Amino acid sequence: MVSDVIDRETSARQTRGGEERPRRWGDWLRTAARGVGQTLLTVGLVALLFVVYQLWVTDLLAARAQDQLAEQIQDQWADSPTVAAPPADPAPPTDPVPQPTPPDGSPAAPPAHTPGTIQAGLGDPFAILHIPRLGSNYSRVVVEGASEVQLEQGPGHYVDTAMPGEQGNFAVAGHRVGRGSPFLNLDRMRPGDPVVVETEDSWFVYRVLGDAASGDFDADPSGIPGRQIVRPSRVDVISPTPGRPAGGAPSGAYLTLTTCHPKYSAQQRLIVHARLDGAPLSKAAAPDGPPVLDG
């Protein structure tokens, strides 16, 4: 009898031990699964908040910065007027000096802009960019410098490239998505589209290179494409003559707009090239801008 009792107790202990081990293992698995789930949920929430910040919050901050820059630059221009009214009796025009045609067949370059030479410190606003193709009221204040700090405010001018109206390449960078998304729809640009640059004393009209009739970006006589997609390492797009060596002499007055490509990615760069179309228009003669701004 005693031996039977001992055997039953031993068997019960073994059974309880066998049940406890699987139960402890299952509890551990459930705890680990809950921990992993909570971690993934937290990571997903942080990622979602980051996307919201990048796509919406930075746009709001950039819009506020643009409003401040617009007010600043208008006050700046009002405080230091450099535009003189045209004379009442202008002198009769003299015969123009013929301009040689460049060997590549592109139109002769207009003379460099000299009145009101532009000088701007890093981060300072100095021009306003108007692009009718991107909206009838599209305007963005351009600041000096193209680092991330400057681009958080809006389009930024590549330091050491030409200023508006000058011979060379007036090159401007801007974000495609976030930070105000100034160049979000830059891919909508077409050959012949005007890009107007407003400065303190003048308006400059650039036109996107290519054949306006056919829409072919690669048909410009200069050989410079109106639009191209390149690797980020292709810095020759902002050379004095786009696509040529950085140390070469300019063959005209160009404007280059650069942004990321495709949208929501920085793997490549979308580039738009334009050329100055005629002489600058004085603000004294046209305070509201050139006719292309009227649509």
Full set of structural domains in the chain with CATH: 65-80+120-294 (2.40.260.10)
Question: Mean per-residue pLDDT for 215-225?
Answer: 97
pLDDT tens for each residue of 236-254: 999 999 999 999 999 999 9
Q: State the number of CA atoms in the 13 A half-sphere of 124 facing the CB.
A: 10
The two three-digit tokens of residue 39, written as one number: 């971690």
pLDDT tens for each residue of 55-88: 566 677 778 989 999 999 999 999 865 444 444 4
Name the average pLDDT for the chain: 82
Q: Which residues contact 228 (CB under 8 A, 6 or more apart)?
A: 217, 237, 271, 273
High-pLDDT (> 70) share of the chain, %: 72
Q: Give the residue with greater pLDDT, 27 vs 119.
A: 119
Quick check: 113 and 164 in contact, CB under 8 A? Answer: yes
The two three-digit tokens of residue 122, written as one number: 């890093």
> Is 60 exceeded by the pLDDT of residue 4?
no
Question: Mean per-residue pLDDT for 202-228?
Answer: 97
Amino acid at the residue 19: E
20-34, 92-106, 160-174, 185-199: least confident range: 92-106
Q: What share of the chain is helix, strand, coil (3-state, %, to 5)?
A: 35, 20, 50
Provide the 3-class DSSP secondary structure of residue 58.
helix
Specify the pLDDT at position 151: 96
Of residues 117, 119, 173, 175, the one with CA closest to residue 142: 173
> Is 90 exceeded by the pLDDT of residue 128?
yes
